Amino acid sequence: MSGQASSRPIKPRTRGPVELVIEVFFGLFFVSLFAWFVGLAIEVAGSFTIWKGEGIAHSQSLVEQDLGYIAAAPRSLLVDDTDAFARRLAGYIAMPFERLGVRRYYEAQLAQGAAQPAPVQSQKAGAGGQNPLQGGLRKATQEAMREGAKWALIAMHVAQDIALRLSVAVFALPLLINLVAAHDYPDLGRHGEDVFWGSLGNTLGAGAIFLIGSLAMLPLLLLPGALLVLPLLWSAWLNQRAFRFDALAEHATRSEMQLLVREDGRSFYMAGLATAAVAYVPLLNLLAPAFAALVFVHLGLAALRRRRQEGGVIL
């Protein structure tokens, strides 16, 4: 931008209520969808390797841990009772599964399997005994339905886990980014272009790439050690792609953002890796969204201020 154009005060473009609602809806929807997909993929891989034989116990323990962490901080700026809110949220997600009787069926099948004695083969299949083919088919059908119910419950617990973690981000992130920008970078002019549509396009693009990459990554998760490394690296990419844009969207022009991504891309990715690693640490994982927002808003706006000063541009 020219010195004359940059010296004119530019009125920050405020988001209307409709734009804000649409942006929050699409952002939460796609973040939730892809986080659920990755979480379910990790549960699938882990059920055959690390926590083999635990059934739904592992995914259920994640939800219980989330509720325990939230109960330790019972109040927030927007919710008077975070524990009650979190339990209602988890209950809403579980409602369709409970209405369909998925849990009751799964528990009944487990109890029936534990109480059933070892089968005794008939001496004569046709004389009052059960046809072996029919018996085998019935048993295979019951096992398939039991496995289906198990994975439905695991998917439910993963969705509850994602929703509980994202609820923290919904309450904290938008306010946090604006507060940091106003407090630490008040001199930095807001020259963002098409902030709403740019944020929406970035979310959709990053989500599509993340989904395709997650699908391609599924077979690799069965390799030794891949379950610990690949999701971390892929989450790091998603963090830097999503958070760097949101941190800079209000302040940087399109050309400035492209320049920062090109020259400071390694710093953004390392920040994405660090913030992704925090999400794997118990208790700290509830603070991961807020921590990521703080890291990227400081990293992005500090880099933008430095570039403008080096280029002789009025902030």
Please tell me which residue, 101 or 165, carries the higher pLDDT value: 101
User: Which residue in 279, 293, 284 sits closest to 232, CA to CA?
Assistant: 279
Please say if the pLDDT value at position 39 is more than 50. Answer: yes
Q: What pLDDT digit, counting tens, does each position of 284-305 carry?
A: 666 677 778 788 888 888 888 8
The pLDDT value recorded for residue 115 is: 62
At 134, give phi and psi (nearest 5°): -65, -40
Q: Rounded to the nearest 10 degrees, what angle do helices 57-71 and 132-184 cross at?
A: 30
Helix boundaries (H) for the chain: 3-7, 17-47, 57-71, 82-99, 102-115, 132-184, 195-217, 226-248, 254-263, 265-278, 288-310
Half-sphere exposure for 276 (CA within 13 Å, toward CB): 23
| Mean pLDDT score, 89-97 | 90
299: three-class secondary structure by DSSP:
helix
Q: What pLDDT digit, counting tens, does each position of 251-266 carry?
A: 888 888 888 888 888 8
The pLDDT value recorded for residue 18 is: 54
Mean pLDDT of the chain: 75
Q: What pLDDT digit, counting tens, does each position of 223-237 carry?
A: 887 877 888 888 888
| Mean pLDDT score, 276-284 | 73
Please tell me which residue, 13 or 207, carries the higher pLDDT value: 207
d(CA 296, CA 176): 12
